[in-house]
Amino acid sequence: MKLRESRHDRIHVFHLTGAIELHNAAALRSRLQMKAARRCPALILDLSGVPYIDSTGLALLIEYLRDAEAFGGYFVLAGLTSSVRQIFDVVQLDKALPICRDVEEAKAKLRKGVLSRTQHALFKKSPAETPRTMRAAA
């Protein structure tokens, strides 16, 4: 997997090419964590060059989605290939994340303010359980 980054005003774009899999996920995780730490206001993931994403890659997207939700950032996917789109449909990640046809559509919708943030409660960060809560649940 290769990652090229671009920036358009306050909108950051990761242009990815190649499969997103276990053996290359650490690099993407590091870049996503850096964006979360800096509270990136809007991040578009351009997946038009990604033929496949495995469960590790999906987990990375969910991690960043939760982080972005916590600080009020936007996270948008763009340009899903048909094979990646099928995976998103199966795991229903398409219900949690805005998905646009391409990067230009994503940028336009972000600028117009017509994209919502996380759309599914399952993918929202929950408060950390305290030891007392864990004992009560046992």
Which CATH number goes with the domain that contains 34? 3.30.750.24
Give the pLDDT of residue 130.
30
Give the pLDDT of residue 96.
84
Q: Which residues of the chain have pLDDT under 50?
A: 120, 123, 129-138
Give the pLDDT of residue 126.
54
Give me the amino acid identity at 79: G
Give me the amino acid identity at 19: A
107 is in which domain, residue-wise? 2-137
Strand order in the sheet with 2-8: 2-8, 11-17, 42-49, 74-78, 99-100
Give the pLDDT of residue 37.
97
Give the pLDDT of residue 111.
94
The pTM (predicted TM-score) of the whole model is 0.84
Residues 6+ apart with CB under 8 A from 60: 20, 25, 28, 29, 32
Give the pLDDT of residue 87.
95
Contact between 119 and 97 (Cβ < 8 Å):
yes
Calpha distance 87→91 (Å, rounded):
6
Q: What share of the chain is helix, strand, coil (3-state, %, to 5)?
A: 50, 20, 30
Contact between 19 and 50 (Cβ < 8 Å):
yes
For the chain, what is the domain count? 1
